[in-house]
Amino acid sequence: MTALSHPRRGAARSLRPGRPPSFVPLLAQAAVWAGAAGVLGLWWTGTPSVVSPADWLTGAGRITGLLAGYGCAVLVALMARVPLLDHRVGTDRLARWHAMGGRYTLSLALAHTLLIIWGYALTSHSGVVHQTTTLVLDYPDMLKATAAFLLLMATAVVSARAARRRMSYETWHYLHFATYLALFLAFGHQLSNGADFVGHRPAQLAWYALYFTVAALLAWYRFLLPVRRALRHRLRVADVRREAPGVVSVHLTGRHLTELGAQSGQFFRWRFLTPGLWWTANPYSLSAPPLPHHLRITVKDAGGHSAALAGLRPGTRVWAEGPYGAFTARRRRADKVLLLAGGVGITPLRALFETLPGEVTLLYRARRPEDLALRCELDAIAAARGATVHYVVDEPAVLSSPLTARALHRLIPDLAAHEVYLCGPPGMAEAARRALRGAGIPRRHIHHESFEF
């Protein structure tokens, strides 16, 4: 590891007190668990007694079915891109909750299927195969429910980490839309066959309210609002500039951009209306503070979509969905802040470096000196605001060293007094988290968004 330049520091500046912590994540989790308790209460009030083994199996099947149905609604709500959740909880944190909840929900759906078949088979004194055939062919809406179950299982397979590595983001993203079809197909059988809903009008109305509310949030924030904003703001590509090997900045102009409410550190999902790119919207962070008529992203060639951005022509129309993410100044609590960037992870941190209040230090790691994108801008910002910037590269190998707590302390002696914003490739980010924890920085003072969904 070698520092390429002396730290740049100017006069000390006044500090702004940190913000109080946000309770939105805790409230969101409490709301989810309260809903789950309500679902269990629905089963409890509708079950007079559980006596025989068939009753136990059927009862367990009803509970898992109710929780699976509720879980499906929660999963969609988490990914509906509701601004209150997205800006206070964070897109990557919501994605982790969604992934964890998806595993639980699929397990519940599988358990529901097996337990109901087994319980009904014992009740009717028939075989499992015969009972399965009877349920699928003779019960209302069960053929659609069977198709929904198979779609959910297929989505689980393509969402597994091993499968995700073998497909592009665009392919995975569109295959994931099958979950919406699955929920639509499964909804009917819950009300027509569920013992907790048949003849229970208040429960039916509550279930309708849950699903229609989630559907409305999804339709507005995922589909209608992006179209409305595209027509309102009329974003276009103004220029494409090379910043480093395989790295370009895309400058965009538009109207009324302050209405978007974008902040440094956030990202949009960008859809460039040109052949080969129009069909997908990929997430890229703002690499400069948003202006009333100008936005900028800086992108590294890491796949077909990002590589194609270097060939964009001025005037290309753009749809931008967002802003998204909680990687903003709102998270800051301490007076001293370290921005730790790796590779193209500099993009959101470059915007924060210019706008984040307080005493800020930037540490920018890259593989080679020529890979340090936006370096001239970073030097100018450091000089203007009286901040410190360290450039660190891994090559030449004779001067390299691992990302460790000791190495960080050499550069920043009072490291433990800092709050940290971290952005970089997964391997680098994990090594940095270990080093920062080893340096005595509490986990709650390390802010990281992966931007990988």
Q: Which tens digit of pLDDT belongs to each residue from 389-402?
A: 999 888 876 666 67
Residue 9 in this model has a pLDDT that exceeds 50: no
Where residue 199 falls (left for φ over 0; alpha for ψ -120 to 50; beta otherwise) is left
* 137 shares its domain with 159: yes
| Range of 58-67, 157-166, 175-184 with top mean pLDDT | 58-67
Banded model confidence at residue 46, pLDDT cuts 50, 70, 90: confident
Average pLDDT on 354-374 reads 92
Q: Kindly state whether residue 3 falls inside one of the protein's structural domains.
A: no
* 242 shares its domain with 188: no
Lowest mean pLDDT: which of 157-161, 224-228, 283-287, 367-371?
157-161
DSSP designation for 223: I
Q: Kindly state whether residue 7 falls inside one of the protein's structural domains.
A: no
Question: Is residue 81 a contact partner of residue 42, using CB atoms and an 8 Å limit?
Answer: no
Instruction: Give me the pLDDT at residue 170, please.
Output: 67
What are the tens digits of pLDDT across the range 294-345? 999 999 987 777 888 999 999 999 999 999 999 999 888 888 999 999 988 9
Give the residue from 191, 224, 257 where a domain finishes: 224
- The answer for residues whose C-beta is within 8 angstroms of residue 39's C-beta and 6 or more apart is 66, 67, 70
Task: With CA atoms as reference, report the closest residue to 361 among 378, 376, 342.
Answer: 378
Report how far residue 27's alpha carbon sits from residue 299's, in angstroms, rounded to the nearest whole number. 35
Residue 117 in this model has a pLDDT that exceeds 90: yes
Instruction: Give me the pLDDT at residue 276, please.
Output: 83
Q: Kindly state whether residue 441 falls inside one of the protein's structural domains.
A: yes
* 29 shares its domain with 136: yes
Instruction: Give me the pLDDT at residue 355, please.
Output: 94
Average pLDDT on 370-387 reads 94
* 244 shares its domain with 207: no
Q: Kindly state whether residue 8 falls inside one of the protein's structural domains.
A: no
* 63 shares its domain with 173: yes
What are the tens digits of pLDDT across the range 258-302? 999 999 999 999 999 999 888 888 899 999 999 999 999 999 987
Between 179 and 353, residue with greater pLDDT: 353
Instruction: Give me the pLDDT at residue 399, please.
Output: 60
Average pLDDT on 148-160 reads 85
Instruction: Give me the pLDDT at residue 401, please.
Output: 67
* 306 shares its domain with 189: no
CATH number where 342 lies: 3.40.50.80
* 316 shares its domain with 400: no
CA distances from residue 247 to 101, 250, 335, 352, 368 in whole angstroms, order as listed: 36, 10, 33, 19, 13
* 385 shares its domain with 242: no
Residue 2 in this model has a pLDDT that exceeds 80: no
Instruction: Give me the pLDDT at residue 211, please.
Output: 95
Count other C-beta atoms under 10 Å from residue 29's C-beta. 12
Question: Is residue 89 a contact partner of residue 29, using CB atoms and an 8 Å limit?
Answer: no
Residue 8 in this model has a pLDDT that exceeds 60: no
Give the residue from 297, 324, 351 where a domain finishes: 324
Give the residue from 224, 250, 281 where a domain finishes: 224
Considering the entire predicted model, what is its pTM?
0.83
Average pLDDT on 94-98 reads 91
* 28 shares its domain with 171: yes
Average pLDDT, the chain: 88
Range of the domain at 263: 234-324
Complete DSSP assignment for 276-331 = TTTT--EEEEBSS--BTTEEEEEEE--SHHHHHGGGPPTT-EEEEEEEE-S-SGGG
* 52 shares its domain with 162: yes
Q: Kindly state whether residue 9 falls inside one of the protein's structural domains.
A: no
Q: Kindly state whether residue 13 falls inside one of the protein's structural domains.
A: no
Report how far residue 284's alpha carbon sits from residue 306's, in angstroms, rounded to the nearest whole number. 9
Instruction: Give me the pLDDT at residue 305, please.
Output: 76
Domain count, the chain: 3
Banded model confidence at residue 143, pLDDT cuts 50, 70, 90: very high
Residue 406 in this model has a pLDDT that exceeds 80: yes
Instruction: Give me the pLDDT at residue 15, please.
Output: 36
Instruction: Give me the pLDDT at residue 16, please.
Output: 43
* 245 shares its domain with 202: no
* 71 shares its domain with 220: yes
What are 420's two structure tokens? 């940290």
Average pLDDT on 383-393 reads 92
Residue 377: φ, ψ to 5°: -65, -40
What are 247's two structure tokens? 């790295």
Sheet holding 446-448, edge to edge: 2-3, 388-393, 359-366, 336-342, 418-423, 446-448
Banded model confidence at residue 28, pLDDT cuts 50, 70, 90: very high
